[in-house]
Structure 1
Amino acid sequence: MTRIIALALIAASPVYAADFSEGSSAKSWNLYAEAPALFEAKVVDITCEVTGDCPDNCGDGDRQLGLLRAADDVLVFPNKNAQSGFQGATVDLLPFCGKQVDVDGLLIEDEDIQGATNIYLVQKVREVGSEDWVKANTWSKAWAAKYPEAKGKGPWFRRDPRVNAHLAETGHFGLGLEKDAELIKELFE
């Protein structure tokens, strides 16, 4: 599925991207090939756009969301929100499913790196016509509300029940618990 999405994004991209920096107040992450970008787009379910499989409300957060840019009908992949981790932007964009929005953030474009096109780091969003921006920083709060039993110190992913269940089944190396035990003994004892 990831490959299909990447191919669709590449196929939809123009050879030379337009400059969307005018009016942007996006803060730099000092990432290679980033540029501030403010544009209007429709929030869409990427799988729906690519395959025609379209559940209600963009899949209720179970699907990757995209931005169908109004200026050129290019499907932009918002794979990060304004928080320091790369948890994605679906939680922040879902309330805008199917709506025309203005987004401000950073656009990654590099024609020399395959797949590095139309990758977007959304920092704020608002419905077209609204004066009020919404910061794209709600992922951690939404995660904490969904998993209240995972409170504690340290990174969220060390406490995430889904991650821990997967590790309990496959081990840290994905090779099974028995192989994990062998490798840990070899490496650390």
Structure 2
Amino acid sequence: MIQTETRTRYAIAALAGLAILAAPHGARAAEAWGIEHEREVKLTGKVVDLLCALRIGSDPKAADAKDCPPDCGGGRRQLGLLTGAGKLHPAVKANADFAGATVDLAPYCGRTVEVDGLLIANPAATLLMVQALRTDPKAAFVKADRFLADWARQNGKAEEWFRADPKVKAAIAADGVFGIRGLEPKP
């Protein structure tokens, strides 16, 4: 009888612990991809235009309209996250294959966001893979996958966007699949 009660108490405690771990507040949306040097992170920082951030460094007076457009380049420039500690993290990937995070981050240019994703801390370069983001710490994370919807709206639906993209096709036609004219894959 005592053994049964003890087992029941342990089971209840284990279930309560699992419920606490599964609670949505502060839940992590990041999913490991198995990349060397990766680690799941939540980072808070200001969305910045990387070219502008590198150009001005710690001197905001060094900026000019050419280097630092007010809308972070209107979706045509690489974006990143500048933390309160002054660390700049280039956001190079979102959830869509072969697509960057610019489409997801551009609406937040100059604003503070919390990003949930992977930090690839390779000795050669540290890169941020954005998987989800939010502006309010109490809100749920929003998946960083706007690229595919935007691309489909402009180009129509495709099984693999990168094989159907007119810009990709034009680049391959001009420079080959390796990006070097005349260099062809072996049959």
TM-score of the two chains, using structure 2 as the length reference = 0.72
Within 2, Cα distance between the matches of 1:82 and 1:175?
28
Kept after mapping to 1: 8 A contact 2:90/2:128:
yes
Aligned pairs for 1:143-154 (under 5 A) are 143-148=151-156, 151-153=157-159
The runs of 4+ residues in structure 1 deviating greater than 6 Å are: none
Within 1, Cα distance between the matches of 2:83 and 2:142?
19
Give the equivalent residue in structure 1 for 2:91.
78
User: Percent of pairs identical after alignment?
Assistant: 39
Give the equivalent residue in structure 2 for 1:67.
81
Equivalent residue in structure 2 for 1:89, among 84, 97, 101:
101
- The answer to whether structure 1 residue 135 and structure 2 residue 165 are counterparts is no
Kept after mapping to 2: 8 A contact 1:28/1:36:
yes
- CA 1:172/1:26 → structure 2, altered by over 3 Å: closer, same or farther? closer
Aligned pairs for 1:1-189 (under 5 A) are 24-51=28-55, 52=63, 53-70=67-84, 72-83=85-96, 85-110=97-122, 113-115=123-125, 117=126, 119-129=127-137, 131-148=139-156, 151-153=157-159, 155-176=160-181, 179=182, 187-188=186-187
Structure 1: segments with no counterpart, 5+ residues: 1-21
Structure 2: segments with no counterpart, 5+ residues: 1-25, 56-62
Q: How far 1:60 sits from its partner (Å)? A: 0.7
Name the Cα RMSD after superposition. Answer: 2.2
Provide the secondary structure at the position in 2 that maps to 1:30. Answer: coil
- CA 1:25/1:168 → structure 2, altered by over 3 Å: closer, same or farther? closer
- CA 1:129/1:24 → structure 2, altered by over 3 Å: closer, same or farther? closer
- CA 1:175/1:99 → structure 2, altered by over 3 Å: closer, same or farther? closer
Computing the radius of gyration from Cα coordinates, the structure with the larger value is 2
TM-score of the two chains, using structure 1 as the length reference = 0.71
Provide the secondary structure at the position in 2 that maps to 1:167. Answer: helix
**Counterpart AA for 2:49:** D
